[in-house]
Structure 1
Amino acid sequence: MAICGNFNYWTALVEKKRFIAELQENEKFVSSFLVKAKTLGNTRSGNPFLRIRLGDHTGETEGRIWERALEFDQDFSVNDVVRVHARVERYQGKLQLNISDIERLDPEEVDPTLFLPTGPQDVNELWQQFEDLAKQVKNQHLQRLLQGFLSDRSFVEQMKQAPAAKSMHHAYLGGLLEHTVSVTRLLDRICDHYPRLDRDLLLTAAILHDIGKLEEFSYQLHLDYTDAGRLLGHVVLGVQRVRDKIDKLEGFPPTLSLTLQHLIISHHGEYEFGAPKRPKTLEAFALHYADNLDAKMNHLTRLLDNEKESPSHWTPFQQVYDRFVFKGTGEGQEVADIQADNSKDEPEPENYSFLDMLDSSAKGEEH
């Protein structure tokens, strides 16, 4: 494709790699991004345009192609890496890209680490916390089981890299380790408050509850499901992995094995949320709610962070929660009307409680 605009100006920018988090309003730039989504639409006057969501390891942004949209639409697909020539503009309080030219890049020439999102915490520090939490388990059978995983170099490397989800929560490299440490620390505190809980069993289950995600997701250039992830899911994959380890441990108590597997297989809580069995022990209930809470807090926190630039006190309507989310009224923040395309009557349930929120997990293939 021929580059639109001043050729010499754009050519001078080609070598300046720009990340999404660095972009400034009115800036012209050339850089490469991963295509997260694209939609072909029409303006009010009937002219075609492309709406594109672009990402790299620092974040995501929206882009628009107003000229030659039909032509460009044939040149790239979702999950391609593209080089864009664009200007940063502000629209409805948010930065977005006005793209004048776009071209698909050869995947062999792309560094995947530039485009996969990464977590906010250092993975080596998280791993140290992971090991420290595992050492708290005193039951000799459960400790042997955990050491069987921690001594596996492949397991260690996978845990440091794997995401916890494709899009909902902790959907970035290292996200699984961050989520696992957070859930385990939360349950360690819950055990202090509810001393009847079996701490060793609960901590072990928390550490292992999502290890099926090591096989559920691929993350070479973009986050996606593996065949095993789609056909079986991480709950089944995780139980299989734990059972295989237990079978190699001589003298592991059958009842302990059964209750541990129950915690893992029931941690999604309800059948409609992907749980083959619902929680039936104190520890299983505790694991389910701690897992659900941590997932929602991570998703909501990132949602609010992504909406910082919008002047509205509210996020757009969130289908997964079936409601708008209040952002607060920061000092100097102006009230902005929620746009018509986001408006929707929101039925508020009577007698709504915090537990209702915990039970309203995301529907679909991921928790």
Structure 2
Amino acid sequence: MLSLYPNEKIENQPVVVRKIDKKVGQNDKGYYHLQISYGIKSYDAKIWNDSPEIGDKINPGCLAYITGVAKDFKGTIQIHINKIEKIENPSQDLINKVIPSCYLNSDEMEKSLFEIINTINNIHIKQLLNNIFTNDTIKNAFFKKAAGAEIHHAYVGGLAQHTLEVARIVINFTQVFPYVNYDIAVASALLHDIGKIAELSDFPENKYTTRGKLIGHINIGVEILNSFISKIPDFPNQIKYEIEHCILSHHGTLEMGSPVLPMTIEAIAVHNADKSSAEINAFHLAIERDTGTDAWTDYNPTYKRAIKKSINI
């Protein structure tokens, strides 16, 4: 993590350029406004000239070396960049250092995933899950992708972490509410965001793909589900419909992008588990990313509030 303090000098620091926009100041002079990051930490930055060469070479998603100084701007650290140089063909080691990553490694998460799958009793559902998560294409993407472009679990391994959190919350729901069907709810939790392997691009870009924008991860997830079900002889239609419904309704409302509302106990369990995982992690990310010097984050436009930073008691 890159933690900076006012007046701290920065020299040849590798960063990901997340955003860059050309602006005009009150003095009618042009400048560039950037958002740059190293790991989870993200900073606003300024380049106080409007050289077209900068706009031509530096683009969102690229890696760059920056030299400059950290400044206090209204209680928030802002980087004034004196020099920026795009990193052409960065090594994988450098990419791994700069991009945000999950605190859990993929081996740990893969082990946990299959431990959960092994708790499934229904032979058709267990076969379905094993077939999906041992598929090389899905496996390679699942443990590398984020669960979101910006708001929650927006880092390498975020999709797997979020999926495991949702599954564990659902498992706890089944212990509190024994009438929730364990196999349907847990399988749906593991598959609810599987479409994000195609909705989001790889890091360091981590943007919505054309397919992701046009179709969305919910519909892509149902496509993946049905493509694997079609290869399992005599897979029960009723189970198929139940899992499909949980995937289709997991955002909870039509306004939030679900084509149908949750209409089964398992679907409402998956929706609430998904919401809990996403919102708690989003608050955590907002705190981790914040560059302010006080006990509260800046106003969060997604949740329409500032968020109090965690304290040790």
Q: TM-score normalised to the size of structure 2?
A: 0.90
Provide the residue aligned with 2:2 in structure 1: 21
Which of 320, 327, 343 is the aligned partner of 2:302?
Answer: 320
Q: Cα offset for 1:187? A: 0.6
Provide the residue aligned with 1:222 in structure 2: 205
Give the count of matched residue pairs.
309
**How many Å separate the matches in 2 of 1:155 and 1:328?**
36
- In structure 1, the gaps of 5 or more residues are 1-19, 332-367
CA contact (8 A) 1:35 1:77 kept: yes
Q: Cα offset for 1:257? A: 1.0
Residues 242-261 of structure 1: CA deviation (Å, up to 9, x unaligned)? 11111111121111111111
CA contact (8 A) 2:40 2:288 kept: no
Q: Cα distance 1:237–1:328, how it changes in 2: closer, same or farther (>3 A)? A: closer
1:104 and 2:86 matched? yes
Which of 53, 60, 69 is the aligned partner of 2:50?
Answer: 69
Please show how residues 165-204 of structure 1 align to structure 2 within 5 Å. 165-204=148-187
SS at match of 2:255: helix
Q: Cα offset for 1:23? A: 4.6
CA contact (8 A) 1:92 1:310 kept: no
Q: Cα distance 1:314–1:177, how it changes in 2: closer, same or farther (>3 A)? A: same
CA contact (8 A) 1:263 1:283 kept: yes
Q: Cα offset for 1:326? A: 3.7
SS at match of 1:225: coil
**How many Å separate the matches in 2 of 1:317 and 1:151?**
42
1:161 and 2:182 matched? no
Moved more, 31-40 or 273-282: 31-40
Q: Cα distance 1:248–1:181, how it changes in 2: closer, same or farther (>3 A)? A: same
Q: Cα offset for 1:318? A: 2.1
Q: Cα distance 1:28–1:232, how it changes in 2: closer, same or farther (>3 A)? A: closer
Residues 62-81 of structure 1: CA deviation (Å, up to 9, x unaligned)? 22223x33456534333333
Give the AA of the match of 1:74: G
Provide the residue aligned with 2:61 in structure 1: 79
Give the AA of the match of 2:81: I
Choose 1 or 2 for highest CA Rg: 1
SS at match of 2:205: coil
CA contact (8 A) 1:64 1:97 kept: yes
Provide the residue aligned with 2:15 in structure 1: 33
**How many Å separate the matches in 2 of 1:110 and 1:304?**
30
1:51 and 2:29 matched? no
Give the AA of the match of 1:120: Y
Give the AA of the match of 2:55: Q
Please show how residues 184-263 of structure 1 align to structure 2 within 5 Å. 184-263=167-246
Give the AA of the match of 2:30: P
Q: Cα offset for 1:57? A: 3.0
Q: Cα distance 1:79–1:150, how it changes in 2: closer, same or farther (>3 A)? A: closer
CA contact (8 A) 2:62 2:205 kept: no
SS at match of 1:161: coil
Q: Cα distance 1:91–1:145, how it changes in 2: closer, same or farther (>3 A)? A: same
Structure with more contact order per residue of length (Cα contacts < 8 Å, sep ≥ 6): 2
**How many Å separate the matches in 1 of 2:125 and 2:9?**
56
Q: Cα offset for 1:82? A: 2.6
- In structure 2, the gaps of 5 or more residues are none
Identity %: 24
SS at match of 1:32: strand
CA contact (8 A) 1:216 1:233 kept: yes
Q: Cα distance 1:84–1:210, how it changes in 2: closer, same or farther (>3 A)? A: same
Moved more, 235-244 or 313-322: 313-322
**How many Å separate the matches in 1 of 2:3 and 2:286?**
19
Provide the residue aligned with 1:138 in structure 2: 121
Provide the residue aligned with 1:151 in structure 2: 134
CA contact (8 A) 1:115 1:222 kept: no
CA contact (8 A) 1:217 1:223 kept: yes
Residues 213-233 of structure 1: CA deviation (Å, up to 9, x unaligned)? 111111153111122111111
Q: TM-score normalised to the size of structure 1?
A: 0.77
Residues 117-164 of structure 1: CA deviation (Å, up to 9, x unaligned)? 211222211111111111111111111111212332332222211111
Please show how residues 269-348 of structure 1 align to structure 2 within 5 Å. 269-307=252-290, 309-311=292-294, 313-327=295-309
**How many Å separate the matches in 1 of 2:203 and 2:279?**
26
Give the AA of the match of 1:83: Y
